[in-house]
Amino acid sequence: MRGWVRGLSLASFALLSACVSRPSQPPVTQPPPTIQPPKPPPPANALQAGISAVEPRLLDEGNAERALAAFRVSCPSVTTRTDKSGLTQPGDWIAPCTAAQSVAPGSASAFFQSAFDWVQVGTGKAFATGYYEPEIAVSRTQAPGYTVPIYMVPPDLVRCTRPDGTTGRGRIDPASGTCVPYYSRTDIENGALAGKGLEIAWAADPADVFFAEIQGSAKLLFTDGTAFQIGYADQNGLAYVPIGRVMKQQGILPPGGTNMQAIKAWLRANPDAGQQLMLQNPSYVFFKVLNGPGPLGALNVPITAQGTVAADPAFVPLGTPIFLAMDRPEPDGLWIAQDVGGAIKGANRFDTFWGSGPQAAQIAGGMAASGQALLLIPKGTAQRALTHP
């Protein structure tokens, strides 16, 4: 019935159309498609991002003294290390490192103002988070209540070339003899490394071990009253997925609630769901026992509480003093770039180190600061970078 009515209507419309002449309509022209110009690739290092010279800032003397001590520790490495940022050469650091050894007490701020060129990379717009050295209750052997292994580097974790030609961390598959990705967090949690004698210790809290991986170091507190430190040794080569981002996407915590304390509290209150949440980060970190003072940074020297900052070495030469002027007071002042981090990528992205203990955990866990970052590079190097083609 519905088809018959529609056919009659069309026939009637055709007869009417034959009796009525219509003015011709101009052809409809479509506007040409908008072609977006290709986006330029992001800068690969500080030279590509561009630098500009700025005036030195006033420094708190106590803060400058702490930074000076950290800078001196870094000098043996920075005078021999290749700089990926393009801003400096190893020989550039000899003069400020030599001068740093004879700075008189009370003159640290004057040293940093006179021995360096102060520059900003790109816009200088900075974002800083915080990290710390966790303290973890552990047992030397697997025991009731201590069931979470802390692993050293497995011998089958190697750098190899995959069938597609890319090179990275992986393992050689015994069946095929080819390079394959290393075991994921899920694989390891399901026992891929069990029974191989790789356990440094056994922890009570999986959330503590998870956050030790994020921080890159920890102090192990054994049931017999002894203690020692562990530090980052290697990683399984798989991508790091931030747990806070996953929790936000899933609406598990309210806006602004994805700081470390809130995440840990949720994981402990929801152990089964928390385990599944942590498995969404396939990255896994392996540790080594540290025999020297404090956790070691990327320069293989002890890092300094409230003095060390992690940075991207493609934009900040490791060993460089960095002045932060932020929208909260804790990270304001002078830091030394002595470390790196899996999530610390790009120009003006930093991670401030706060030491160990409850106060350090509190500050680091809630740190999220925006502001400006200035780099202090050896005197005379800014001009060379500014005239670089």
Taking the C-alpha atoms of residue 100 and residue 224, their distance in angstroms, rounded to an integer, is 43
In a domain? residue 185: yes
pLDDT digits (tens, 9 = 90+) for 229-271: 998 999 999 999 999 889 989 988 776 677 788 888 899 999 9
In a domain? residue 172: yes
Specify the pTM: 0.75
For residue 322, CA distances in Å to 92, 170, 210, 340 come to: 17, 35, 29, 14
In a domain? residue 381: no
What total of structural domains would you count in the chain?
1
Closest C-alpha among 388, 389, 385, 299 to residue 120: 385
Residue 136 makes CB contacts below 8 A (sequence gap 6+) with 150, 203, 205, 208, 209, 212, 218, 219, 220, 221
Alpha helices in 79-161, H assignment, sequence order:
94-100, 108-114
Query: CA angle, 89 as apex, 232 and 308 as ends, to 5°?
Result: 35
In a domain? residue 22: no
Q: What pLDDT is stored for residue 389 in this prediction?
A: 64
Q: What pLDDT is stored for residue 29 in this prediction?
A: 67
Closest C-alpha among 379, 383, 381 to residue 98: 379
Domain that holds residue 176: 154-197
In a domain? residue 267: no
Taking the C-alpha atoms of residue 32 and residue 37, their distance in angstroms, rounded to an integer, is 15
pLDDT digits (tens, 9 = 90+) for 113-148: 999 999 999 999 999 999 998 899 999 999 999 999
In a domain? residue 383: no
In a domain? residue 187: yes
In a domain? residue 40: no
pLDDT tens, residue order, the chain (389 aa): 434 333 333 333 333 334 444 455 666 666 777 777 777 788 999 999 999 999 999 999 999 999 999 999 999 999 998 899 999 999 999 999 999 999 999 999 999 999 999 999 999 999 999 999 889 999 999 999 999 999 999 999 999 999 999 999 999 999 999 999 999 999 999 999 999 999 999 999 999 999 999 888 899 999 999 999 998 999 999 999 999 889 989 988 776 677 788 888 899 999 999 999 999 999 999 999 987 777 888 998 999 999 999 999 999 999 999 999 999 999 999 999 999 987 899 999 999 999 988 899 889 988 999 999 999 999 999 999 888 76
Taking the C-alpha atoms of residue 268 and residue 328, their distance in angstroms, rounded to an integer, is 29
